[in-house]
Amino acid sequence: MRVFVRHGGQTATVSVLIDSPVWPWRGRRWSHLVSDVSYEELHAFVAAELGIPRRAFQGDHYDIPEDLYDVAVAAGAEPVGARELLSRLLAAGLRVRKPRGA
């Protein structure tokens, strides 16, 4: 899904994907939010729609707590399965792989 995001007075089109909040950490469940277009568009979407600081970026995605999942979807993030999210991130050349042993 393409959504329009206003950032810096400009409107842009972005494709943002979110998987289900199934990833446990610190007593909460989390989703991954990615763009299959660019990191810049992902940062703009997250800042404008979710208010999450840039420092929360995890190299190629943002971790989104389950209480913000519906907010992200309502703002235009496309719900997809984890495998599709990874596949589209890889196809876009935006996947950052962890070093071995990490």
User: Please, which residues have CB within 8 angstroms of residue 86's CB and are 6 or more apart in sequence?
Assistant: 95
pTM over 0.85: no
Q: Where are the domains of the chain?
A: 2-91
Question: Taking CA 49 as the corner, what is the angle to CA 47 and CA 52, rounded to the nearest 5 degrees?
Answer: 40
Tokens 């996947």 belong to residue: 95
Q: For residue 31, what is the enclosing H or E element?
A: strand 28-35
Sort strands 28-35 and 78-79 into parallel, antiparallel or unpaired: unpaired
pLDDT one digit per residue (tens) for the chain, 102 residues? 444 444 455 554 558 999 999 999 999 999 999 999 999 999 999 999 999 999 999 999 999 999 999 999 999 999 999 999 999 999 988 898 766 665
